[in-house]
A = this chain, B = another copy of it.
Amino acid sequence: MDEPGMSLLDQSVIKKVPIPSKASSLSALSLAKDSLVGGITNPSEVFCSVPGRLSLLSSTSKYKVTVGEVQRRLSPPECLNASLLGGVLRRAKSKNGGRCLRERLEKIGLNLPAGRRKAANVTLLTSLVEGEAVHLARDFGYVCETEFPAKAAAEYLCRQHADPGELHGRKSMLLAAKQICKEFADLMAQDRSPLGNTRPALILEPGVQSCLTHFSLITHGFGGPAICAALTAFQNYLLESLKGLDKMFLSSAGSGHGDTKVSEKDAKHRK
Protein backbone atom coordinates (compact mmCIF):
# COMPACT_ATOMS: atom_id res chain seq x y z
CA MET A 1 0.00 0.00 0.00
CA ASP A 2 3.01 2.21 -0.55
CA GLU A 3 1.51 4.82 -2.82
CA PRO A 4 2.43 8.48 -2.99
CA GLY A 5 -1.23 9.32 -2.53
CA MET A 6 -1.19 7.41 0.72
CA SER A 7 1.92 9.18 1.91
CA LEU A 8 0.10 12.50 1.61
CA LEU A 9 -2.65 11.09 3.78
CA ASP A 10 -0.37 9.58 6.37
CA GLN A 11 0.96 12.83 7.61
CA SER A 12 -2.16 14.17 9.12
CA VAL A 13 -5.28 12.13 8.97
CA ILE A 14 -4.62 8.44 9.23
CA LYS A 15 -2.22 6.41 11.29
CA LYS A 16 -1.72 2.98 9.82
CA VAL A 17 -2.31 0.10 12.17
CA PRO A 18 -2.08 -3.57 11.45
CA ILE A 19 -5.73 -4.54 11.65
CA PRO A 20 -7.95 -7.20 10.18
CA SER A 21 -9.74 -6.27 6.99
CA LYS A 22 -13.11 -5.85 8.68
CA ALA A 23 -11.89 -2.59 10.08
CA SER A 24 -15.07 -0.69 10.65
CA SER A 25 -15.74 -2.43 13.91
CA LEU A 26 -12.39 -1.26 15.23
CA SER A 27 -12.95 2.41 14.53
CA ALA A 28 -13.24 3.18 18.20
CA LEU A 29 -9.48 2.76 18.60
CA SER A 30 -7.68 6.04 19.18
CA LEU A 31 -3.98 5.83 18.79
CA ALA A 32 -2.95 9.38 19.45
CA LYS A 33 -4.73 12.44 20.70
CA ASP A 34 -3.75 14.60 17.80
CA SER A 35 -4.29 11.97 15.17
CA LEU A 36 -7.58 12.34 13.38
CA VAL A 37 -7.91 8.63 12.93
CA GLY A 38 -8.11 5.43 14.84
CA GLY A 39 -8.34 2.32 12.75
CA ILE A 40 -8.66 2.37 8.99
CA THR A 41 -11.86 1.39 7.30
CA ASN A 42 -11.52 -0.16 3.85
CA PRO A 43 -11.10 2.89 1.60
CA SER A 44 -13.16 1.23 -1.14
CA GLU A 45 -16.17 1.01 1.09
CA VAL A 46 -18.99 3.30 0.03
CA PHE A 47 -19.57 6.07 2.55
CA CYS A 48 -22.63 7.56 0.88
CA SER A 49 -24.14 8.46 -2.47
CA VAL A 50 -24.71 12.01 -3.62
CA PRO A 51 -26.91 13.32 -6.38
CA GLY A 52 -25.14 14.91 -9.28
CA ARG A 53 -24.99 18.67 -9.23
CA LEU A 54 -24.87 18.86 -13.01
CA SER A 55 -27.59 16.38 -13.83
CA LEU A 56 -30.53 17.49 -15.89
CA LEU A 57 -33.97 16.15 -15.31
CA SER A 58 -34.43 12.50 -16.18
CA SER A 59 -30.74 11.81 -16.38
CA THR A 60 -30.27 12.40 -12.66
CA SER A 61 -27.24 10.47 -11.53
CA LYS A 62 -26.04 9.48 -8.12
CA TYR A 63 -22.35 9.20 -7.47
CA LYS A 64 -20.91 6.85 -4.90
CA VAL A 65 -18.51 8.46 -2.48
CA THR A 66 -16.04 6.04 -0.95
CA VAL A 67 -14.39 6.16 2.44
CA GLY A 68 -11.16 6.72 0.55
CA GLU A 69 -12.55 9.82 -1.11
CA VAL A 70 -13.72 11.24 2.22
CA GLN A 71 -10.26 10.63 3.64
CA ARG A 72 -8.70 12.39 0.65
CA ARG A 73 -10.99 15.42 0.98
CA LEU A 74 -10.18 15.82 4.67
CA SER A 75 -6.45 15.46 4.12
CA PRO A 76 -3.87 17.78 2.56
CA PRO A 77 -3.89 19.58 0.23
CA GLU A 78 -7.60 20.27 0.58
CA CYS A 79 -8.27 19.72 4.32
CA LEU A 80 -12.00 20.40 4.11
CA ASN A 81 -13.68 21.18 7.38
CA ALA A 82 -16.86 19.45 8.48
CA SER A 83 -19.03 22.26 7.18
CA LEU A 84 -17.64 22.20 3.66
CA LEU A 85 -17.59 18.41 3.59
CA GLY A 86 -21.24 18.46 4.54
CA GLY A 87 -21.87 20.74 1.58
CA VAL A 88 -19.93 18.51 -0.80
CA LEU A 89 -21.89 15.50 0.42
CA ARG A 90 -25.19 17.40 0.03
CA ARG A 91 -26.15 17.04 3.63
CA ALA A 92 -28.81 19.38 4.86
CA LYS A 93 -27.60 21.84 7.43
CA SER A 94 -28.69 20.73 10.86
CA LYS A 95 -28.99 22.44 14.18
CA ASN A 96 -26.56 20.06 15.80
CA GLY A 97 -23.61 21.73 14.14
CA GLY A 98 -22.73 18.84 11.90
CA ARG A 99 -22.51 16.39 14.79
CA CYS A 100 -24.29 13.75 12.79
CA LEU A 101 -21.66 13.91 10.06
CA ARG A 102 -18.89 13.88 12.58
CA GLU A 103 -20.34 10.78 14.18
CA ARG A 104 -20.48 9.04 10.82
CA LEU A 105 -16.89 10.03 10.17
CA GLU A 106 -15.82 8.62 13.52
CA LYS A 107 -17.40 5.33 12.57
CA ILE A 108 -14.97 5.09 9.67
CA GLY A 109 -12.05 6.12 11.79
CA LEU A 110 -11.86 9.82 10.99
CA ASN A 111 -11.91 12.20 13.92
CA LEU A 112 -12.55 15.69 12.62
CA PRO A 113 -12.61 18.43 15.23
CA ALA A 114 -15.23 21.11 14.89
CA GLY A 115 -13.95 24.37 13.44
CA ARG A 116 -10.95 22.80 11.76
CA ARG A 117 -9.66 25.25 9.21
CA LYS A 118 -9.79 24.50 5.53
CA ALA A 119 -6.39 24.60 3.86
CA ALA A 120 -7.02 25.05 0.14
CA ASN A 121 -9.03 27.77 -1.57
CA VAL A 122 -12.63 26.92 -2.33
CA THR A 123 -13.35 26.90 -6.05
CA LEU A 124 -16.30 25.65 -8.06
CA LEU A 125 -14.38 22.38 -8.39
CA THR A 126 -14.51 21.95 -4.61
CA SER A 127 -18.19 21.11 -4.65
CA LEU A 128 -17.76 18.17 -7.02
CA VAL A 129 -17.34 14.64 -5.76
CA GLU A 130 -14.75 12.62 -7.63
CA GLY A 131 -17.33 10.62 -9.58
CA GLU A 132 -18.94 13.73 -10.98
CA ALA A 133 -15.63 15.54 -11.54
CA VAL A 134 -14.37 12.66 -13.65
CA HIS A 135 -17.68 12.52 -15.52
CA LEU A 136 -17.42 16.24 -16.28
CA ALA A 137 -13.87 15.84 -17.54
CA ARG A 138 -14.98 12.97 -19.74
CA ASP A 139 -17.79 15.07 -21.22
CA PHE A 140 -15.33 17.90 -21.81
CA GLY A 141 -13.08 15.39 -23.59
CA TYR A 142 -15.99 14.37 -25.75
CA VAL A 143 -16.74 17.90 -26.90
CA CYS A 144 -13.05 18.65 -27.46
CA GLU A 145 -12.75 15.56 -29.66
CA THR A 146 -15.98 16.02 -31.60
CA GLU A 147 -16.75 19.73 -31.64
CA PHE A 148 -13.51 21.64 -31.52
CA PRO A 149 -12.87 23.24 -34.92
CA ALA A 150 -9.34 21.93 -35.36
CA LYS A 151 -9.41 22.13 -39.13
CA ALA A 152 -10.68 25.70 -39.28
CA ALA A 153 -8.12 26.79 -36.71
CA ALA A 154 -5.36 25.03 -38.66
CA GLU A 155 -6.36 26.59 -41.96
CA TYR A 156 -6.55 30.04 -40.39
CA LEU A 157 -3.22 29.88 -38.57
CA CYS A 158 -1.41 28.34 -41.52
CA ARG A 159 -2.59 31.20 -43.68
CA GLN A 160 -1.39 33.64 -41.03
CA HIS A 161 2.00 32.06 -40.58
CA ALA A 162 2.90 30.15 -43.68
CA ASP A 163 5.40 32.19 -45.58
CA PRO A 164 5.85 30.15 -48.77
CA GLY A 165 9.61 30.07 -48.34
CA GLU A 166 9.21 28.83 -44.78
CA LEU A 167 6.93 25.84 -45.29
CA HIS A 168 9.54 23.25 -44.43
CA GLY A 169 10.55 25.16 -41.36
CA ARG A 170 6.96 25.39 -40.25
CA LYS A 171 6.47 21.68 -40.85
CA SER A 172 9.45 20.89 -38.65
CA MET A 173 8.09 23.10 -35.94
CA LEU A 174 4.67 21.46 -36.10
CA LEU A 175 6.23 18.00 -35.93
CA ALA A 176 8.32 19.06 -32.97
CA ALA A 177 5.25 20.46 -31.22
CA LYS A 178 3.41 17.22 -31.95
CA GLN A 179 6.15 15.11 -30.42
CA ILE A 180 6.63 17.30 -27.34
CA CYS A 181 2.89 17.46 -26.79
CA LYS A 182 2.58 13.70 -27.13
CA GLU A 183 5.27 13.11 -24.49
CA PHE A 184 3.41 15.40 -22.13
CA ALA A 185 0.03 13.86 -22.87
CA ASP A 186 1.50 10.38 -22.36
CA LEU A 187 2.81 11.47 -18.96
CA MET A 188 -0.65 12.71 -17.99
CA ALA A 189 -2.15 9.45 -19.18
CA GLN A 190 0.17 7.50 -16.89
CA ASP A 191 -1.05 9.35 -13.84
CA ARG A 192 -2.28 6.77 -11.35
CA SER A 193 -3.66 9.00 -8.63
CA PRO A 194 -6.08 7.30 -6.26
CA LEU A 195 -9.63 8.08 -7.25
CA GLY A 196 -13.06 6.79 -6.27
CA ASN A 197 -12.68 3.17 -5.25
CA THR A 198 -9.58 2.53 -7.34
CA ARG A 199 -6.11 1.88 -6.00
CA PRO A 200 -4.28 1.74 -9.30
CA ALA A 201 -0.83 0.30 -9.61
CA LEU A 202 1.86 2.90 -10.12
CA ILE A 203 3.57 3.35 -13.46
CA LEU A 204 5.56 6.53 -12.87
CA GLU A 205 8.39 7.26 -10.47
CA PRO A 206 7.01 8.09 -7.03
CA GLY A 207 8.44 11.62 -7.18
CA VAL A 208 6.54 12.78 -10.23
CA GLN A 209 3.50 10.66 -9.34
CA SER A 210 3.11 12.37 -5.99
CA CYS A 211 3.17 15.77 -7.70
CA LEU A 212 0.49 14.67 -10.15
CA THR A 213 -1.48 13.23 -7.25
CA HIS A 214 -1.39 16.65 -5.59
CA PHE A 215 -3.03 18.13 -8.70
CA SER A 216 -5.54 15.28 -8.80
CA LEU A 217 -6.44 15.81 -5.16
CA ILE A 218 -6.92 19.55 -5.63
CA THR A 219 -9.21 18.95 -8.60
CA HIS A 220 -10.88 15.71 -7.43
CA GLY A 221 -9.84 13.90 -10.53
CA PHE A 222 -10.97 16.59 -12.95
CA GLY A 223 -7.66 18.28 -13.67
CA GLY A 224 -5.62 15.58 -15.37
CA PRO A 225 -8.33 14.31 -17.72
CA ALA A 226 -9.39 17.89 -18.49
CA ILE A 227 -5.86 18.83 -19.47
CA CYS A 228 -5.76 15.69 -21.66
CA ALA A 229 -9.05 16.74 -23.23
CA ALA A 230 -7.70 20.17 -24.13
CA LEU A 231 -4.49 18.64 -25.45
CA THR A 232 -6.63 16.47 -27.71
CA ALA A 233 -8.02 19.61 -29.29
CA PHE A 234 -4.51 21.01 -29.67
CA GLN A 235 -3.16 17.77 -31.10
CA ASN A 236 -6.01 17.60 -33.61
CA TYR A 237 -5.14 21.16 -34.58
CA LEU A 238 -1.51 20.06 -35.13
CA LEU A 239 -2.61 17.10 -37.24
CA GLU A 240 -4.85 19.26 -39.39
CA SER A 241 -2.04 21.80 -39.77
CA LEU A 242 0.33 19.10 -40.98
CA LYS A 243 -2.24 17.74 -43.40
CA GLY A 244 -2.79 21.24 -44.72
CA LEU A 245 0.91 21.79 -45.22
CA ASP A 246 1.28 18.48 -47.01
CA LYS A 247 -1.43 19.54 -49.41
CA MET A 248 0.41 22.77 -50.01
CA PHE A 249 3.58 20.83 -50.76
CA LEU A 250 1.75 18.61 -53.23
CA SER A 251 0.10 21.46 -54.99
CA SER A 252 3.00 23.85 -55.03
CA ALA A 253 5.28 24.14 -57.99
CA GLY A 254 8.27 24.00 -55.63
CA SER A 255 10.94 21.36 -55.87
CA GLY A 256 12.19 18.74 -53.48
CA HIS A 257 11.17 17.89 -49.97
CA GLY A 258 14.20 19.56 -48.46
CA ASP A 259 15.85 18.63 -45.26
CA THR A 260 13.96 18.01 -42.10
CA LYS A 261 15.44 20.39 -39.65
CA VAL A 262 14.47 19.06 -36.31
CA SER A 263 14.93 15.36 -35.98
CA GLU A 264 15.15 12.18 -37.97
CA LYS A 265 11.94 11.10 -36.30
CA ASP A 266 9.91 13.32 -38.63
CA ALA A 267 8.98 10.50 -40.98
CA LYS A 268 7.43 8.52 -38.16
CA HIS A 269 5.02 11.34 -37.43
CA ARG A 270 3.25 11.22 -40.75
CA LYS A 271 -0.23 9.97 -40.26
Contacts and interface: CB of A to CB of B under 8 A. Distances in A.
Contact of A54 (B124, B219, B233): B124
Interface string A70-103: 0000000100000110011000000000000000
A105 interface: no
Interface string A118-145: 0001111111100010011001101110
Contact of A56 (B84, B214, B218, B226): B84
Contacts of A153: 184, 187, 208, 211-212
B143 A262 contact: no
Interface stretch (A18-26, A33-41, A167-175, A243-251): A167-175
A142 B156 contact: no
Interface of A is mostly: helix
Nearest to A179: B173
B127 A56 contact: yes
A80 B248 CA distance: 41
Contact of A125 (B136, B161, B238): B136
A149 B188 CA distance: 11
Interface residues of A, number: 74
Contacts of A56: 84, 87-88, 122, 126-127
Nearest to A224: B148
A177 interface: yes
A57 B177 contact: no
A194 B226 CA distance: 24
A204 interface: yes
B149 A212 contact: yes
A70 B50 CA distance: 29
A76 B79 CA distance: 43
A231 interface: yes
Nearest to A169: B263
Interface in A249-266: 261-263
Given A54-B124, A184-B237, A261-B262, 7 more contacts: A54-B54, A54-B128, A56-B84, A77-B147, A125-B140, A147-B223, A226-B226
Interface of A: 52-57, 59, 77, 83-84, 87-88, 121-128, 132, 135-136, 139-140, 142-144, 147-149, 152-153, 155-157, 160-161, 169, 172-174, 176-177, 179-181, 183-184, 187, 204-205, 207-208, 211-212, 214-215, 218-219, 222-223, 226-227, 229-231, 233-234, 237-238, 261-263
